[in-house]
Amino acid sequence: MHEMSCTPCTNFACLRGTLFSLGWQICSTWRAVSRSDLLWHRLTRLVWGRTRLLQDTWRDEYIYWHRTARNFQTRRSVHTTLYFDPSDVEDSNGFTCRCLTLSDAHLACGFADGAVRVFDLHTRLHVNTFRPHLRDRLGPFSRAVTGIVITDCKLIFATLDGDIHVAIIGIPHITRRVHLGEVVNDGALVDFTGCERWWVGLYAGVPGRAFHIWDGVTEQLTFVGGALTDPEAVMGWHMLTEMTGFVGRVRVTSRGSAVACTSSSVMIFDLTNQGLVLGEEEYRNGREIIVTSVDVSSAAYVIAERRRGLARLARLARVRLVDTMEEGCRFNVRGAAEMGAMGCMNDGYALMCTDGVVSVWEVERGAYLYRFRERIGDVNAMVCDERHVAACSSDTTLHLWDFGAAD
């Protein structure tokens, strides 16, 4: 059985579907107001967090995301396997996917040989490949892609040696290096994330330099500091020469903050105030964070832990509010104690892949919903948004699930 507990809902998700369930059986004046595109624009932003119009009107946009969320709740999706031409793989590491990123139009996959392959979500076709500029290697995996950011037509990706490149998705193969990594001074860049406003790198190897923050508009480095990964310094260096596990993870929220973790600590810090720490929790007494389980939505984050020697508590996951670190709900994840867990989340649901099976929980109450029909084996990377879920298996297969409402 899947155990759960919860606290009352405090966000706009409870509004979802209310407008339609009421049937708008009210006065003619309000029915006239309800036709206002400005009103639907505001509702779409408040309820679904959408600010970009993809449908003909904002009313259509609201309906589309309402139906898509319903599909997510009821396991109605289309599964596709994505392919790319293996002839452009430069070495055997090129088949190992290390990270995934979604936008409304594209899926970007970062590989251990430095390649970033971009797929069109409408056609499901591989449309472009980008590679970092050549430089002296500090190890066989120094070019491994550790994170990707997509903003409109621009793609930003980072590699383990600390280099950051920018590309335009519609312009084949051309990349521009905007930051030259200094591994000796900074350590290895073990994770990279961001948004249009900020880019954030998580480093391991040199004390006191865990976080690097860039202004995404000017592409200038604005902050260096933090000791989160100091205990993992040796493991950070090993990542340059060995295909090791994940040292840490960092994710950016929509509230100008970031959530970062290692196996022993989780930290929330402010991006606008030079890395000001907003909250921190250490895991002790046998408790250990499953680093790959951690992800964020607009206002919450999910984190799973294992506890050595106590099987009953070894697979606990929590959803917490970013602003306060207050627990919203919790649930048990089968298999996470033995196999680990690869997690991701959107505003409504948390997903965990363990033992080749992707399971879904609703984040307002922690209720277990279902598991995907497809068994995909161990995964190296997984990502989701409000419409798509993507995962790359250790056998190099790229999976995509589309929950989008039918036209």
Report whether 117 contacts 111 (CB < 8 A). Answer: yes
pLDDT band, very low/low/confident/very high, at 87 (cuts 50, 70, 90): confident
> How many CA atoms lie less than 13 Å away from 155 in the CB half-sphere?
33
Q: Which two tokens stand for residue 246?
A: 């994940």
**pLDDT, mean over the chain:** 87
- Number of alpha helices (DSSP H) and beta strands (DSSP E) in the chain: 7, 30
pLDDT of residue 116 exceeding 90, the answer is yes
Confidence grade of residue 5 (pLDDT, cut at 50, 70, 90) = very low
d(CA 404, CA 390): 14
**DSSP assignments along 17-43, one per residue:** THHHHTTT-S-HHHHHHTT-HHHHHHH
CATH number for the domain formed by residue range(s) 88-181? 2.40.10
d(CA 3, CA 8): 17
pLDDT (tens digit, 9 = 90+) per residue, 329-359? 999 997 654 557 999 999 999 999 998 999 9
pLDDT single digits (tens) 19-68: 455 444 556 665 666 678 888 888 888 888 888 888 889 888 888 888 99
CA distance readout (Å), 81 to 40, 120, 366: 35, 13, 30
Residue 68's nearest CA partner among 88, 82, 95, 49 is 49
Q: Quick check: 147 pLDDT over 80?
A: yes
Backbone angles phi, psi at 274, to 5 degrees: 50, 50
Biggest CA–CA distance in the chain, Å, is 71
Query: Amino acid identity, residue 259?
Result: V
Confidence bin at 8 (pLDDT 50/70/90): very low
Q: Tokens 């996959």: give the residue.
A: 109
44 residue type, one letter: T
Strand ranges in 253-348 using DSSP code E only, listed in sequence order = 257-261, 265-270, 277-282, 287-289, 295-296, 300-307, 316-321, 327-332, 342-345
Closest CA to 260 of 217, 218, 240, 230: 230
Give pLDDT, residue 140.
Answer: 86
Checking if the pLDDT of 377 tops 60, the result is: yes
Amino acid occupying residue 69? A
Q: How do residues 203-238 score in pLDDT, each as one tens digit?
A: 999 999 999 999 999 999 999 999 999 999 999 999
Q: Does residue 6 surpass a pLDDT of 50?
A: no
- CA gap 25, 36 in Å, rounded: 17
User: In this structure, which long-range contacts are made by residues 315-322, counting pairs with CB atoms below 8 Å and at least 24 apart in sequence?
Assistant: 317/293, 317/341, 317/343, 317/350, 317/352, 317/361, 319/345, 319/350, 319/363, 319/366, 322/253, 322/255, 322/257, 322/259, 322/268, 322/296
Within 13 Å of residue 310, how many CA atoms lie on the same side as its CB?
A: 12
Domain boundaries, the chain: 88-181
